[in-house]
Structure 1
Amino acid sequence: MLPISVLCSIVESGFEPLSCECTESLGLLRIEVYDSVTKRVELLISGVSTAELTNVRAISDFVGELRTEMRAGRRAFAG
């Protein structure tokens, strides 16, 4: 398992050029993706388990799924 700091760093870099903040609390992640200029939140998801995010490939696949949902306009994840 990767340290949370590394996991969050990979997640955050996966949403560029948007800004992303990934934080951990009680073993669960909160991921907020937003436009750094307008501060408009594009994605807000909390309660993400880290159990399956055990390597770079799994994290990359997870970020890819979230990006696909964002492009599809699925606002279910947005706050």
Structure 2
Amino acid sequence: MVSVPELCRIVESGFQPLSCACTVNPDGALRIKVFERSTGRIDLLITGVSPAQLSSARAISNLIGEFHTEMRAGRRAFAG
């Protein structure tokens, strides 16, 4: 199992050159915000991601891939 801080570091690195902030909500779920630092434009905002479901490199990679797909589709949020 990947620790939550390490999980956040992996997720944040998956969106470069955009900036990404991964934080933990009080309920333990992750909040992932992908944005352009220079303008502050938010490209993606996801809340309620369960870290328990991200227990392997493949699961983390799949999640990042899904979010990239959503960003390419021009959506502002993804309910997963």
Q: What TM-score, normalized to structure 2? A: 0.89
SS in 2 for 1:51: helix
Higher relative contact order (CA 8 A, sep 6+): 1
Moved segments of 4+, more than 3 Å: none
Instruction: Give the superposition deviation at 1:36.
Output: 1.0
Aligned to 1:5: 5
Task: State the distance in 1 between where 2:21 and 2:75 align.
Answer: 20
Q: Which runs of 5+ in 1 are unaligned?
A: none
Unmatched runs of 5 consecutive residues or more in structure 2: none
In the alignment of these two chains, the number of paired residues is 77
Tell me by how many angstroms 1:60 deviates.
Answer: 0.9
- Work out whether 1:20 is the aligned partner of 2:23: no
Q: What is the CA–CA distance in structure 2 between the aligned matches of 1:23 and 1:48, rounded to whole Å?
A: 10
- Measure how far apart 1:74 and its partner are: 2.1
* Alignment of 1:34 onto 2:21: no
Supply the distance in 2 between the matched residues of 1:11 and 1:61 (Cα, whole angstroms): 11
The separation in 1 between residues aligned to 2:54 and 2:42, in whole angstroms, is 24
The RMSD of aligned alpha carbons is 1.2
Structure showing the higher strand proportion among its residues: 1
**Equivalent-residue separation in structure 2 for 1:33 and 1:74 (angstroms):** 12
Matches within 5 A, 1:49-68: 49-68=50-69
Deviation at 1:50, TM superposition (A): 1.4
Q: How much has 1:55 moved relative to structure 2? A: 1.4
Alpha-carbon distance, 1:51 to partner: 2.0
